[in-house]
Copies of this chain bind each other. A is one copy, B any other.
Amino acid sequence: MSVFTKVSAEQLAGWLKNYSLGTLLDLQGIAAGIENTNYFVTTTHGKFVLTLFEKLQSHELPFYLNLMSHLSRHGIPSPKPIANFDDELLSILNGKPASIVTCLSGQPIEQPGAADCAEVGEMLADMHLAGRSYSASMPNPRGPHWWNATAPRLRQILPADEVELLDAEVHFQSRHRFDDLPRGVIHADLFRDNVLFTDGAIGGVIDFYFACSDALLYDVAIAVNDWCVRRGGLDAAKTTALLDAYHATRTFTENEKRAWPVMLRAGALRFWVSRLFDFHLPRAGELTHAKDPAHFRNILRGHIAAKPEFAV
């Protein structure tokens, strides 16, 4: 259950008096999510999602909210934050920073086919192109600096063969800085549960709270590691479909093609480390929906063994 801060209909109706969203009709807590309080909100103007931010601070939020607003302005089906009468996307509700965004249509798909992967590739490229005119930036909080700092804390917990794998991969990645790759704003978490499909088309891209500034190819690697994975490695047809569709919208550079095998490993390392951390070292009082870290360890091992070539 993810309603950490309760909001009554009366409290919300009062808060909504500062918005052009009509009259409140319904309010339902949302069980999913482990970081924020979320409600489905229905007004005479439509259906929205209310978020009360439980960990992110007010000064951290404009990067994410303005990004969603920018992408929506460019036709990306991202949640559109609604501005209040002060023209602000963020205000305080029950003591927490709060925002209300449009509710997008569709459902995640667990077993995507190659055609779905192609849709994702095209949408990701479109997001990267639209993001070029977004002026704010945000260093990646889960980049090399973070895994260099985190890996030593995991060493005491892991079996010897995993310590060896972790040390070797952190060292391997430190030899590749990717400074010559196109950079920009990335979603950084474009897993299957963050893309909503409706009638075979993408109706929504959600959860921008890991978005940051980094190599665009890193975003592609994160997506491929989830959308195109099969037991023991990548599904060639799905990977080709995603990369081809991306490439048709934003052309990969030669440097990106060369960096691909290393970037796939970087994407796997990032989620292996964060899942290890959430699994073994949860923060006090944190709800533990920790996912199995072994999944990304296996993907990393698969990439190291297979040395996947760039397919485009």
Interface of A is mostly: loop
Contacting residue for A126 out of B22, B72, B132, CB 8 A: B22
Does A113 sit within 8 A of B, measured CB to CB?
no
How many Å from the CB of A198 to the closest CB on chain B?
10
Interface size class of A (residues with CB under 8 A): 35 or more
Q: Which of A75-83, A156-164, A281-289 contacts B (4 or more CB under 8 A)?
A: A75-83
Does A147 sit within 8 A of B, measured CB to CB?
no
Does A279 sit within 8 A of B, measured CB to CB?
no
Cα-based distance from A185 to B148 in the complex (angstroms): 54
Interface of chain A residues 216 through 274 with chain B (CB within 8 A): none
How many Å from the CB of A22 to the closest CB on chain B?
6
> A75, B85: Cβ atoms under 8 Å?
no
Which residue from chain B places its CB closest to the CB of A44 in the assembled complex? B201
Given A44-B119, A77-B46, A119-B44, A129-B20 contact (CB < 8 Å) = yes
Q: Which residues of A contact B (CB under 8 A)?
A: 19-23, 44-46, 48, 69, 71-77, 80, 82-87, 119, 122-123, 126-127, 129-130, 132-133, 201-202
